[in-house]
């Protein structure tokens, strides 16, 4: 049996904060290969597939975009501002993990580059990723 609904539904995405335990932490960002925000830096992440749960999607996106896998990810927060994504209504669940040191990366899929940045020297970020990192800094790093 199949159900259809008269109400529009938002897309769901995952974003991943991978951050070092250094005194001055570094964070892994990807450079977007496609619009929107082509060429802009962003957190690794992407759309949830219909047949996967949120943690699986986060692991898959991290692997596809950075070639980093098998991280123990924790859920941070969910972001759902109506205008956060110019492609349409999108809700993102953010995950994070701490790593001892920078890990080797290999950009792939929707990422043209993957690079570590000092948390206090970030480039302009796509979507609402600066807000996400500001809140992560205030709620996780500073506590």
DSSP 18-37: EEE-SSS-EEEEEEESSSSS
What single DSSP character describes residue 125? Answer: B
Choose, from 52, 69, 102, 113, the residue flagged as catalytic: 113
Q: Which helix (H) or strand (E) segment is 11 a member of?
A: strand 11-20
Asked if 41 and 8 touch (Cβ cutoff 8 Å), the reply is: no
Q: Minimal CA–CA distance to 90: which of 50, 46, 40? A: 46
Is 113 marked active-site?
Answer: yes
Cite the active site residues.
113
């Amino acid at each position: 049996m199949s159900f259809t609904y008269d109400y529009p539904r938002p897309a769901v995405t995952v974003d991943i904060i991978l951050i070092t335990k250094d005194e001055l932490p570094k964070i892994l960002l990807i450079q977007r290969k496609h619009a929107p925000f082509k060429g802009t830096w962003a957190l690794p992440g992407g759309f949830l597939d219909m047949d996967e749960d949120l943690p699986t999607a986060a692991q898959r996106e991290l692997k596809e975009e950075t070639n980093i896998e098998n991280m123990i990810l924790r859920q941070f927060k969910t972001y759902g501002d109506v205008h956060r994504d110019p492609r349409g209504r999108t809700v993102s669940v953010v995950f994070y993990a701490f790593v001892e040191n920078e890990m080797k990366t290999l950009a792939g899929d929707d990422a043209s580059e993957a690079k570590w940045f000092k948390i206090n020297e970030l480039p302009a970020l796509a979507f609402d990723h600066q807000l996400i990192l500001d809140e992560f800094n205030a709620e996780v790093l500073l506590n």
